Structure 1
């Protein structure tokens, strides 16, 4: 398999396009995945995309990515788990996988409970508030700093 970037999306992101479009936009998860594939291809990389509403499945995906030498890094939108999951924090730390944290909206401009991220302290970069373009920026970052 070719070198690739893993794109992980957390809870409720399967509802993109219909869930609070005034906050998250009208692009769907399929649009996000297509955008990531396009950006990765521009760097000669592939993408592998997963979405789960279950914290443990995201932990498993991070562990798999960290153990795979073909994985350049992970674009992670942990969604609500960003603000609650010590398990995701520990998975990133334990695996040493490179992670760029992404948020469609700007969590710092929203409710106070969204201002804290358990992912940011272990993320290589954080991109927030750029909508779907933020995923492309994350892919570009991981690709341009590969190796």
Structure 2
């Protein structure tokens, strides 16, 4: 049989970087404040220090990873420790900053320093205290 090999369908991927509109929404919800330490940074000048962290990570991630309820600000150094140190990873999971790839981020509360305690991160861009009933 001659001819060209059959083309494989292209896998749909999300953009590598978080879209600007989503970063703006993240700033609106959390300020430019670390979810871990509560420290505030200046957007633009501290762009290499504070990075958007996808709560659901892992090898390859998810094609729909860029969602407001799945993002928090986190210091780059802490992000590195979460991926390389088992104790930091355990603590990140306890805080809801790192969650299972299979979890629904809307249903895992975050102990969030920018909001002063445990909150639900909603799909409409809010951070609601966990003692409030939130329609998901």
Select the structure of larger CA radius of gyration: 2
TM-score, length of structure 1 as denominator length:
0.28
Relative contact order (C-alpha < 8 Å, sep 6+): which is higher? 1
Which protein is richer in helix relative to its size?
1
